[in-house]
């Protein structure tokens, strides 16, 4: 269970405001000016700056003038994503940063029970119990990006698969834009580079009758993890952006890019516009699965064959050796025969 003490209560709103002020000011800020702006004593300002330093921010004290922000940690705080976020999005209005939690998806579910609003984002520095599909453990060391997005607008249940398909496209676009790496999508929504997994998506939904009333979209991206830091169990099947040649990424910028892309797509889904059919050619172009010989775990069986196509609803068509073509609306391409892998421990 997520422990409420894991909430980073050192980042109080005033600390956020002080940080925002430093981020938008190039010059030195005096203690006096800050204390007047925020109506607290200079000692209180100094304490807030100390707390920000504990989070990894660096301030240089300029003699008799004040403080200057000279270094930022690679963490995801609201003021840090706002610099990159498009205006008027419904995703990312609220953002909670947790240095450590068991699972951001679990934490987001708890927040929903407490009334969290649509678009709230939870990001963790590290997960101790990261969850993958089919109940698997998800390796989540401090150099990755582990986030969950709360969706609280009604979506017809028939479009459930599109939630993750759209998310994979938003992440694909963002990573391509920021790194230029050759990222591909493994049906339905894993992201790969050179057949190794760099991103997994786990959507958990609550339905009423034929409607999704709430969803948590969990996204795990192996951003800055060094090749040698992956555990033995996933070494052959997972990779990271830096291991594939990217410069280390600013995680706040990556989160903002994903939200910028996903916001429009989700809004379209909520309005019943079938946005996946619009971006389908893009998804298909990035899809590594079509044409490959694969084994697919459906809910009830494992099927082997050639993936011959995917349609605009995300249904995969698998040609079996018997000549029969099976339509598979949900499932998972297994690791053994598909030469890709996953961040999943080997089955």
Binding site for ligand BTN (CB under 6 A): 103-105, 127, 130-133, 136, 138, 140, 146-148, 190, 200-202, 218-220, 344
The tokens for 257 are: 């890019």
- Nearer to ligand BTN by C-beta: 57 or 146? 146
* Torsions phi, psi for 343 (to 5 deg): -80, 10
- Nearer to ligand BTN by C-beta: 19 or 96? 96
- Nearer to ligand BTN by C-beta: 48 or 133? 133
State the nearest-atom distance from the C-beta of 130 to ligand BTN, in Å. 4
Q: How far apart are CA 66 and CA 134, in angstroms?
A: 53
State the nearest-atom distance from the C-beta of 37 to ligand BTN, in Å. 36
Q: Which residue has the tokens 């590290």?
A: 126
Q: How far apart are CA 248 and CA 83, in angstroms?
A: 19
Instruction: Identify each DSSP E strand in the chain by its residue range.
Output: 58-62, 66-71, 95-101, 121-127, 145-151, 155-156, 183-186, 190-193, 196-208, 211-221, 293-297, 302-310, 316-319, 325-328, 332-333
State the nearest-atom distance from the C-beta of 217 to ligand BTN, in Å. 9
State the nearest-atom distance from the C-beta of 105 to ligand BTN, in Å. 4
Q: Are 63 and 236 in contact, with CB atoms under 8 Å apart? A: no
Q: How far apart are CA 334 and CA 340, in angstroms?
A: 9
One-letter-per-residue 3-state SS of 29-72:
ECHHHHHHHHCCCHHHHHHHHHHHHHCCCEEEEECCCEEEEEEC
State the nearest-atom distance from the C-beta of 148 to ligand BTN, in Å. 5
Q: How far apart are CA 116 and CA 102, in angstroms?
A: 19
- Nearer to ligand BTN by C-beta: 57 or 143? 143
- Nearer to ligand BTN by C-beta: 162 or 344? 344
State the nearest-atom distance from the C-beta of 135 to ligand BTN, in Å. 9
- Nearer to ligand BTN by C-beta: 92 or 200? 200
- With CB atoms as reference, the residue minimizing the distance to ligand BTN is 200
């Amino acid at each position: 269970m997520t422990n409420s003490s894991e909430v980073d209560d050192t980042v109080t709103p005033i600390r956020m405001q002080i940080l925002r002020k430093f981020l938008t000011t190039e010059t030195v800020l005096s203690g006096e000016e800050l204390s007047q702006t925020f109506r607290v004593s200079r000692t209180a300002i100094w304490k807030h700056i100390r707390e920000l330093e504990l989070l990894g921010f660096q301030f240089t004290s300029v003699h008799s003038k004040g403080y200057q922000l000279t270094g930022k940690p690679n963490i995801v705080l609201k003021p840090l994503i706002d610099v990159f976020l498009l205006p008027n999005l419904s995703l990312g209005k609220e953002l909670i940063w947790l240095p450590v939690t068991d699972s951001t998806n679990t934490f987001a579910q708890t927040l929903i029970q407490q009334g969290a609003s649509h678009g709230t984002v939870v990001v963790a520095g590290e997960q101790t119990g990261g969850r993958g599909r089919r109940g698997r453990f998800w390796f989540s060391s401090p150099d990755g990006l582990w986030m969950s997005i709360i969706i609280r607008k009604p979506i017809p249940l028939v479009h459930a698969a599109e939630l993750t398909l759209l998310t994979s496209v938003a992440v694909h676009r963002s990573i391509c834009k920021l790194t230029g790496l050759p990222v591909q999508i493994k049906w339905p929504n894993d992201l790969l580079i050179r057949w190794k997994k760099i991103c997994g998506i786990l959507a958990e939904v609550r339905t009423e009758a034929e409607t999704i009333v709430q969803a948590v979209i969990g996204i795990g991206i192996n951003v800055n993890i060094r090749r040698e830091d992956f555990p033995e169990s996933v070494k052959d099947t997972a990779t990271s952006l830096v291991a594939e040649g990217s410069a280390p990424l600013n995680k706040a910028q990556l989160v903002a890019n994903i939200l910028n892309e996903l916001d429009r797509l989700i809004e379209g889904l909520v309005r019943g516009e079938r946005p996946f059919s619009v971006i389908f050619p893009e998804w298909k172009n990035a899809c590594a699965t079509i044409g490959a010989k694969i084994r697919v775990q459906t809910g009830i069986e494992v099927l082997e064959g050639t993936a011959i196509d995917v349609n605009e609803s995300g249904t995969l068509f698998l040609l079996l050796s018997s000549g029969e073509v099976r339509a598979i609306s949900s499932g998972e391409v297994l690791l053994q025969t598909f030469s890709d892998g996953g961040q999943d421990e080997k089955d």
